[in-house]
Structure 1
Amino acid sequence: MEIKRAVITAAGRHQSTLPLQTLVDRHGQARTALAILLEEIAQAGISEVAVVVPPGAQSAFTAAAGSDGRRLTFVEQTEPLGYGHAVWCARSFTSNQPFLLLVGDHLYVSGQPQSCAQQLVEIAAAENCSVSAVQPTHESKLPYYGAVGGRRVAGRRELYEITDVLEKPTPTEAEQHLIVPGLRAGHYLCFFGMHVLAPAVMDLLDALVQKGQPPVQLSAALAQLPGRERYLAAELAGRRYDIGVKYGLLTAQLALAMEGQDREEVLALVVELLAQRNRRSGAT
């Protein structure tokens, strides 16, 4: 499997402005979340990128991409018919080829020199199948993510053969269908916001779109994939940060800073803030 194209979805009602937010990256440069995501993709060796946006948003995203803006392909999702529908809108761009898929409201910090996207692309190419990145997540966070059930691939601690996919399951549903041997109690494999998907996924999404029953969810298509072909989940050496949740931007910024060249300076500032708070508490 050779992955040459990537799709970023950023058309959701509460998602479309998040990639335009500015953070300080690991190099100490002020950049938009979109520009940071594009660097993530470039490190995976992919230069053809489509961004799915709401109508009228192309100019804002072009500006947010900076010097990369001219090489992007923009796809409009004219109606908010679901995440899966947004992915389906990029079907002409993916052109029956495997592709890397990222959500526009997540940022990633790798625990090794390879970016998270590069790790995932290399796994998918080696295994020659669709691979969804996952992260063990406490059951209290299940309302925010899709999750998978399955079993570890023999001899591979980071790989799982997927048997079930559920979108934002309840703890009861997760306990019934998504238990993965070896995970800590109360933890499940939740989506990382990053996938490498085979062309079959677009066929499954097309069938869901033709039914005309929105919202069309990507997880509904992925749930059908294990019955058709091999489908894996991979734990990457890194963490995802959802910038759309409360304090999400702050958490992502701190994570980037802790991995960057200004780490010591930022740590000193955090320590000083904590010290000031303790002094105020002591004074009262």
Structure 2
Amino acid sequence: MQKIRKAIIPAAGLGTRMLPATKSIPKELLTIVDRPVLDYIVEEAFASGIEHVIIVTGRMKGAIEDHFDHAFELDVCLRNAGKHPLADRIAQNTPGAGTISFVRQQQARGLGHAVWTARHIVGDEPFAVLLPDMLMISEEPCLKSMVALYERHGGNVIAVEQCAPEDAHKFGIVSLEPAAGGPLVTGLVEKPAPGTAPSNLFISGRYILQPETLELLERQAPGAGGEIQLTDAMIALMGDQEIRPFEFGGRTFDCGTPAGFVNANLRMAMARADLEPQIGIEIESLSATQRAVA
């Protein structure tokens, strides 16, 4: 069984759900408190044993590469100003040389196509995929738990979560069957018509996939929305390989939506001892105002 060493983070999307903020700022660099959301995703990858992160970018996304580079001038300015702890923190959060690569998705052709553009760096080995706007919070990183499941059984692993049955038409939904060693994914439906979903378990943004997925994407016809869909390749893969679900029990925030973005900021700020007292006062004040209006 090959180790999961590489992870793809597709970050070429336009971020239309967050316009006008994303007109000039990549959505992946919008901040959750004082760190870009992409920082948290890259941190999860490395904390899960990933050795090499591949970020798929596009036009107007050069700031992502700059963010993960060593900012020599900034480091010098901070140290000259005596701000050594801050300079040290930034340096520690900067990935080492050769641990991050960047490839361009030159056309917006879907998630599957974005993953496929990293094929030459991934090579002939299994890999992880982390969606950059899905911030997943738990005691143990979601991907780390998935790697542990992969190391027990091999094959492919996808993270799933429960949604309200009436919301199932908004997501990619899986169907499961019991098997030795745990349930297997036996079906994938992208945004099923209301009332037709086979379950209320949706794919939540983390994958461990075998290299054959890239071969399927190579020759795959466009699917929903005229795009190359990763779920279509996974459906084809199910005929030959096992796909296991990992039901994530933490808290997921879709930071690509205004509500998810604000909720993630609130959650992460309230978890910090230096911010919680001030934010708690503001929340209490707002709650009191709303109670008075009601």
TM range (shorter): 0.7 to 0.9
1:165 corresponds to 2:166: no
Q: Which of these residues, 241, 250, 266, is aligned with residue 238 of structure 1?
A: 250
> Where in structure 2 are the equivalents of 1:1-150 lying within 5 Å?
1=1, 2-14=3-15, 17-24=26-33, 30-57=34-61, 59-65=62-68, 67-68=94-95, 71-110=99-138, 112=139, 114-150=140-176
**Residue 131 (structure 1) shift:** 0.3
Distance in 2 of aligned mates of 1:246 and 1:56: 21
Aligned 8 A contact 1:85 1:209 in 2: no
Q: Secondary structure of 1:68's partner?
A: coil
Change (3 A) 1:55 1:241: same
Distance in 2 of aligned mates of 1:46 and 1:53: 19
Task: Give unpaired runs (5+ residues) of structure 2.
Answer: 17-21, 70-93
Distance in 1 of aligned mates of 2:101 and 2:221: 22
Aligned 8 A contact 1:139 1:171 in 2: no
Match of 1:98, as an amino acid?
P
Normalising by structure 2, report the TM-score. 0.80
List per-residue Cα deviations over 1:221-252 (Å, max 9, x = no partner).
Answer: 11122211111111023122111123121111
Distance in 1 of aligned mates of 2:170 and 2:264: 17
Q: CA RMSD in A?
A: 2.5
Match of 1:145, as an amino acid?
F
Q: Which of these residues, 257, 271, 277, is aligned with residue 290 of structure 2?
A: 277
Q: Secondary structure of 2:203's partner?
A: strand
Q: Percent identity?
A: 30
Higher strand proportion (structure 1 or 2): 1
Aligned 8 A contact 1:135 1:239 in 2: no
Q: Secondary structure of 1:208's partner?
A: coil
List per-residue Cα deviations over 1:96-135 (Å, max 9, x = no partner).
Answer: 111110111111111x2x2112111111122111000000
Match of 2:283, as an amino acid?
V
Structure 2 equivalent of residue 184 of structure 1 = none
Aligned 8 A contact 1:144 1:168 in 2: yes
Aligned 8 A contact 1:3 1:99 in 2: yes
Distance in 2 of aligned mates of 1:244 and 1:118: 23
Distance in 1 of aligned mates of 2:267 and 2:133: 15
Aligned 8 A contact 2:166 2:195 in 1: no
Distance in 2 of aligned mates of 1:240 and 1:69: 28
Task: Give unpaired runs (5+ residues) of structure 1.
Answer: 25-29, 180-187
**Residue 74 (structure 1) shift:** 0.7
Q: Secondary structure of 1:173's partner?
A: coil
Distance in 1 of aligned mates of 2:66 and 2:259: 25
Q: Secondary structure of 2:95's partner?
A: helix
Structure with greater Cα Rg: 2
**Residue 263 (structure 1) shift:** 7.6
Distance in 2 of aligned mates of 1:267 and 1:92: 48
Change (3 A) 1:140 1:172: closer
Q: Secondary structure of 2:35's partner?
A: strand
Match of 1:126, as an amino acid?
R
Structure 2 equivalent of residue 183 of structure 1 = none
**Residue 172 (structure 1) shift:** 3.1
Normalising by structure 1, report the TM-score. 0.82
Structure 1 equivalent of residue 263 of structure 2 = 251
